[in-house]
Structure 1
Amino acid sequence: MEFGIKKCRVLVMKKGRHHKSGIELASEDKIKEIDLEEGYKYLGVLEADSIKEKIMKENVRKEYIRWVKEIQRSKLNRRNTISAINARAVSIIRYIAGTVGWKTDELQSLDRRTRKLLTTYNMFQSKGDVDRLYQQRSEGGRKKEDCVLIEKSCLYCYVSVSEELLLKESLNESVVAVGHDKETVLTIRKSKFLEKKLHSVFFKAIEFRDVKRYEWLRKGDWKKAAEGTLMAGQEQAIRTRSIQHRIDRVDIPPNCRICDEREETVAHIVSECGKLAQKQYKQWRQDNVAQTIHWQLCKDNSLEHNEQWYDHRPKAIVENESFKLLWDMRIQTDRELAYNNPDIIAFNKDKRTCLIIDVTCPFDYRLPEGEREKIDCYDELKRELKRIWNCREIKIVPIVIGAFGTISTRSHS
């Protein structure tokens, strides 16, 4: 085992002044003195007669931005991307918290730079809500760590739970600044977000309804750009003609550029435009949801199906000895019915039970109304099928999913 003399340095200070003098060892080796300009790195912190704060801040800033860019270029999904930034990039700032004296505006500048990089890689919209970005995913946010909060609370949290007498005394004597805990800061941010008139419109509309709002956020398996666009739509951050006309004061008509019948809002684009409803809403959204349900029913009942749901192409009739599935088929009844063409009918031959399944994707605050409409529409078909097919039990199962991913409790179960 050898002692690394070449790595060692010595610093001699007399009455606050630096004296150049190395240490000569008996082995005729010499421990060099520290260059005050270059400093000496000890446990990752550059120091000489004092900590080189200016150089340390610049090095940390460059390393933090480098890691944020590297993670953004990776193929991680949206949830793992944010987790990686918190674990790898933010940890660089967390490590030197309390050692280097960061100013609040310096950390805020780092946060702004991070948001710009998220915008560059389509994970965040430039007009999106900043407070929501730092919320927990269960609360509708993305769980991004706040650099300012990390620096302020990290040292305080460490000292407050320590059992060492000196550290406890430093807290009593206010040597360590008292910072807000994470839960308090998130509560404040959430309150600020809900006070915003434009960004919080969507969330206030569905706040008291019996829905599951953030299942897609908790799973985190979407692409980065898809999540960024969807969240921007929820926050009314997409510059529709209505927003450009009323808020940006651009001299353009506020009506929809496709149908020109109603004002072009986010809600109108995703669920209310008459021309888009003819194809895009039905084929690209509702049919895809129904196709996934059809694939799962085929899989559960040993019917013919593809290995992956996205390759599945439902057939009009699929059946075996005990189960029968009808896809998008008009049902012949003794009397004419206004609604006799549900997306799926699942008939259990052994139990003589039947499920009438129909999918709809309205705007999110219309989920309860959408469920009631589907149940009322197919009530007559339910009575007719029970009589014609001699069923013991028939259930109407409305699958109602909001255009922005909100799922009713009934549909979820």
Structure 2
Amino acid sequence: MKDKIKTEFENRLKHLLKTKLSSGNLIKAINVYAISALSYSFGLIKWSETDLDALERRVRTTMTSRRYHHPGAAKERLCLSRTEGGQGVIDIHNLHHKQVENLRRYFYERADIDNRYEILVHVDRNYTPLNLNVIEFQPISQIRNSTDVIDLWKQKPIHGKYPHYLGLPCTDKEASTIWLKKGELFPETEGFIMAIQDEVISTRQYQRAILHQDISSTCRRCHQTAESIDHIINGCSTLASSDYLSRHNNVAKIIHQELAFRCQFIDIKTPYYRYQPNDVLLSSAFKLYWDRIMTTDHTIMANRPDIIWIDKLNRKGFLIDIAVPLSSNASRTFAEKIAKYVELAHEIKAREKLKEVRVVPIIISSTGIFAKTVTEELKNIGCQQLIHEISKSVILSTCRIVRKFLQQS
């Protein structure tokens, strides 16, 4: 029976992985359709810890064969919930232990009112996985707590960087994992960005330091520093004026289009990658500038924020500037943006006779980490509903940058 159940489980899993489902729907299908083939046997057939480990390993290897899971990525992520940064596959160990415990509880409760159940409890001396005669037998204690799994993930020197940043008090975890919760990416793309977050992409530094290959770790493009994943997604000088700028502009386009639509400068919205912002949009109630140098009475070096939005009706102004740094630099970048444009804010406030001019830094890390301050700033300009679209655009751009980089010899 074990062999039959395993075969059915594997066939269902392979069948699902051949579909064109989005990542979120694929995981739901695996949980409902594939793992259910196993769950009906829990409590009836004896599954050892080794058996359960083999089943979970089979899920990982099968997903790896379809490039939905990187072989070097943290295996803890597979069964963590998507709101915690995982993929959300049901933990087979926990499912087994919970089902055994629930069945045991059912038999003990029925034994108090039905003599037949009492007899079964008395005679079951390890004949079934329930082992009803042993009262102190508690498989529930073996359940893996998500907090323990996250702590184990954080302890890993390479994999643990992403959960460390995700767990910081200043990080908005809900906003940072919204792309996972929505589950709209292709499974292959989701697996790839997770490999980037876990820093297991085969860069030259990874090949030299982790795989112990006898090659140079110098970047293949700029030939200046070591080719790490952080260098590829944010630090290579040859990508600054092209790929990094495009990723930055995509975020700015999303916000600019939302403001233009709300101010009735445009009638319909288009996908952000097709949107072409106008340099200046004016009406009797609003002004909206895109990447425009502001002429001032005094010399101000920082006079070109990404977006300037002036609300004449409420006499408020917003200097919106976007950055997509590394997760380790996000807090510092936010503070730098505030200090950079404070002088320009005073100048515009006096010239336009406004009550208030706010500097609004929109900082999202290249791996999708949002700080709580950023989500608050998006609320201040009424764009909090754009968090998912912004996050998705950054994630896709980062994947595109890394794929394009690695294709070059």
TM-score bracket, shorter-length normalisation: 0.7 to 0.9
Which residue in the other structure is 1:246 paired with?
A: 209
1:350 maps to which of 313, 333, 336 = 313
Deviations 1:234-257 (A, max 9, x none): 111112211211121111111221
Output the amino acid matched with 1:372: A
CA contact (8 A) 1:72 1:121 kept: yes
Output the amino acid matched with 2:133: E
Hey, what's the Cα distance between the residues in 2 that align with 1:217 and 1:224? Answer: 11
Determine helix, strand or coil for the equivalent of 1:315: coil
CA contact (8 A) 2:93 2:143 kept: no
Deviations 1:206-225 (A, max 9, x none): 53341123232222222212
Hey, what's the Cα distance between the residues in 2 that align with 1:321 and 1:93? Answer: 65
**Is 1:58 matched with 2:18?**
no
- How far off its partner does 1:194 sit? 2.0
- How far off its partner does 1:176 sit? 9.4
Hey, what's the Cα distance between the residues in 1 that align with 2:10 and 2:189? Answer: 23
Determine helix, strand or coil for the equivalent of 1:377: helix
Q: 1:325–1:130: structure 2 CA closer, same or farther, 3 Å change rule? A: same
Q: Which runs of 5+ in 2 are unaligned?
A: 112-116, 123-130, 377-409
**Is 1:373 matched with 2:331?**
no
Deviations 1:290-323 (A, max 9, x none): 1001111122222215433334221111233312
Hey, what's the Cα distance between the residues in 2 that align with 1:206 and 1:337? Answer: 37
Higher alpha-carbon deviation: 346-355 or 146-155? 146-155
Which residue in the other structure is 1:301 paired with?
A: 263
Aligned ranges 1:63-142 → 2 under 5 Å: 63-142=8-87
CA contact (8 A) 2:257 2:269 kept: no
Higher helix share: 2
CA contact (8 A) 1:267 1:363 kept: yes
Aligned residues: 357
TM-score by length of 1: 0.80
Q: 1:265–1:347: structure 2 CA closer, same or farther, 3 Å change rule? A: same
Determine helix, strand or coil for the equivalent of 1:324: strand
Aligned ranges 1:9-408 → 2 under 5 Å: 56-160=1-105, 163-165=109-111, 166=117, 169=121, 173-174=133-134, 178-180=138-140, 184-205=144-165, 207-212=167-172, 213-283=176-246, 285-310=247-272, 311-408=274-371
Deviations 1:109-161 (A, max 9, x none): 23222212211222210111111211122221112123333333322233236
- How far off its partner does 1:105 sit? 2.7
Hey, what's the Cα distance between the residues in 2 that align with 1:363 and 1:343? Answer: 19
Hey, what's the Cα distance between the residues in 1 that align with 2:93 and 2:269? Answer: 48
Q: Which runs of 4+ in 1 moved over 6 A?
A: none
- How far off its partner does 1:229 sit? 1.2
Output the amino acid matched with 2:202: R
Q: 1:248–1:392: structure 2 CA closer, same or farther, 3 Å change rule? A: same
CA contact (8 A) 1:306 1:312 kept: no
Which residue in the other structure is 2:391 paired with?
A: none
CA contact (8 A) 1:304 1:318 kept: no
- How far off its partner does 1:377 sit? 0.8
- How far off its partner does 1:172 sit? 6.4
Higher alpha-carbon deviation: 290-299 or 190-199? 190-199
Relative contact order: is structure 1 or structure 2 higher (C-alpha 8 Å, sep ≥ 6)? 2
Hey, what's the Cα distance between the residues in 1 that align with 2:221 and 2:261? Answer: 40
Report sequence identity in percent.
Answer: 28
Output the amino acid matched with 2:188: A
Q: 1:206–1:104: structure 2 CA closer, same or farther, 3 Å change rule? A: closer
TM-score by length of 2: 0.81
Output the amino acid matched with 1:406: I
- How far off its partner does 1:376 sit? 0.8
Hey, what's the Cα distance between the residues in 1 that align with 2:240 and 2:41? Answer: 55
CA contact (8 A) 2:94 2:143 kept: no
CA contact (8 A) 2:279 2:292 kept: yes
Output the aligned Cα RMSD.
2.2
Q: 1:237–1:164: structure 2 CA closer, same or farther, 3 Å change rule? A: same
Determine helix, strand or coil for the equivalent of 1:314: coil
Deviations 1:349-405 (A, max 9, x none): 222211100100000122111111111111111111112222221011000001000
CA contact (8 A) 2:43 2:103 kept: no
Higher strand share: 1
Determine helix, strand or coil for the equivalent of 2:35: helix
- How far off its partner does 1:192 sit? 2.3
Determine helix, strand or coil for the equivalent of 1:211: coil
Hey, what's the Cα distance between the residues in 2 that align with 1:78 and 1:365? Answer: 28
